[in-house]
Amino acid sequence: MPRDGAPTPNSIDSRLDPTGEVNPVHANGNVNGSGQHNGLSASLPTYLTHRLRLNPNSDHQPDNYEDLQLDFSPTVFSSLEKYLPPNLIVQTRDVKVNYMRDILLRYYPESERIRFQKHREYRQKIISNYQRLHRDLYTMSAGNFFVPSFIRAIGENTEQGFRNIMSEPSPGIFTFEMLQPRFCEMLLTEVENFEKWVNETKFRIMRPNTINKFGVVLDDFGMETMLDKLMEDFIRPMSKLLFSEIGGSTLDAHHGFVLEYGMNRDVDLSFHVDDSEVTLNVCLGKQFSGGELFFRGVRCEKHVNTETQSEEIFDYSHVPGRAVLHRGRHRHGARATTAGNRVNLLLWCRSSVFRELRKYQKDFSSWCAECQREKRERQRQSVAATKLELLRRERHSVS
């Protein structure tokens, strides 16, 4: 079971049904036509009587579980709902919750469940006490957030439409105008207001990652639903076309945060890969010098520390409102911000399906540059060996 999403085929293979049909299991195998068993009414759907679909129903719009007090993240339930069989997916939310909870209790590690419960309590404490400055930020409003060209491209939802607004200065790195200046300013002041509240109340907050000492997790003070919409309705359509080989069409979880660089903040960011399949990075401002991103090629876990090839070297200078979209496994870092302050919005988008499938793969040549080089070398050696064998046979036949 992956940490950030729904169960997938390999994690629950003993209960999967490719057709998504009901597969009743009874003590003596007898079920009458009315759905009764041994004269008793059929019970509610359970893990033992209904199998999950092998593939998700991508057209289904799952229920929202944010308002329920659950043992697991609401996004896990929303993701898992797409795998429910046809006759269960139309049931009431309560019926679906009970069914999915039964599965999750069997397969979700207890340590993860405890971690989620503690994090939920932490978030609830913040949300209950923090007074929002710009309430409009907490609900997706495309017309107020994004520039018109970006909205048009999303509406067209074609690869050509996306490429019309993008540049690809280096393979797999896409840049485009995205955020309106007013949205950038509102988010900046909201973050400043939150940090002011943190300092005044001496509330100890969790930072976005283990590398940065400054910055805030936007999900933790109420923006999770808005960022979910950002991922599902805007980033996933692009990723489906641009990053299909790494689960771009099945992004189902995110980690959204803001990082701050400059005076009395983080200065730079060391060389690393993100814990994401697809990363969105948008500069919000302010006035600054330096802080360029440097990219050094896409690598799988096995090859993450291999040498950089000359064609993989690319540096990018931030522009407020302009986005960078790239694979999470694209190695990168940030140079020192030498003057002023730079603030960036980041959205790490993850696919539980891709992460589960990746566990059973050894060849990542569809996206890892080093795997590609090794594959080409094996092919070259194979061709060379074949040629030598043909020459040997030819000489033998002549002699």
The pLDDT, as a whole number, for residue 157 is: 94
Residue 335 burial class via C-beta count within 10 angstroms: exposed 0-12, middle 13-18, buried 19 and up: middle
Contact 218, 195 (CB under 8 A): no
Contact 299, 331 (CB under 8 A): yes
Segment holding 375, helix H or strand E: helix 369-398
Enumerate residue ranges in the chain where pLDDT < 50. Answer: 1-42
Contact 198, 238 (CB under 8 A): no
CA 258 to chain centre: 16
Rg (CA), the chain: 25
The pLDDT, as a whole number, for residue 254 is: 95
Which pTM does this prediction carry?
Answer: 0.76
The pLDDT, as a whole number, for residue 399 is: 67
The pLDDT, as a whole number, for residue 231 is: 97
- By C-alpha distance, which of 33, 14, 23, 6 is closest to 100? 6
The pLDDT, as a whole number, for residue 233 is: 96
The pLDDT, as a whole number, for residue 41 is: 38
Q: Model confidence over 363-385: pLDDT tens digits?
A: 899 999 999 999 999 999 999 99
Contact 85, 50 (CB under 8 A): yes
The pLDDT, as a whole number, for residue 54 is: 81
Contact 351, 250 (CB under 8 A): yes
What's the rounded Cα separation, in Å, for the pair 337 and 128? Answer: 35
Contact 320, 375 (CB under 8 A): no
**Amino acid making up residue 249:** S
- By C-alpha distance, which of 388, 365, 390 is closest to 376? 365
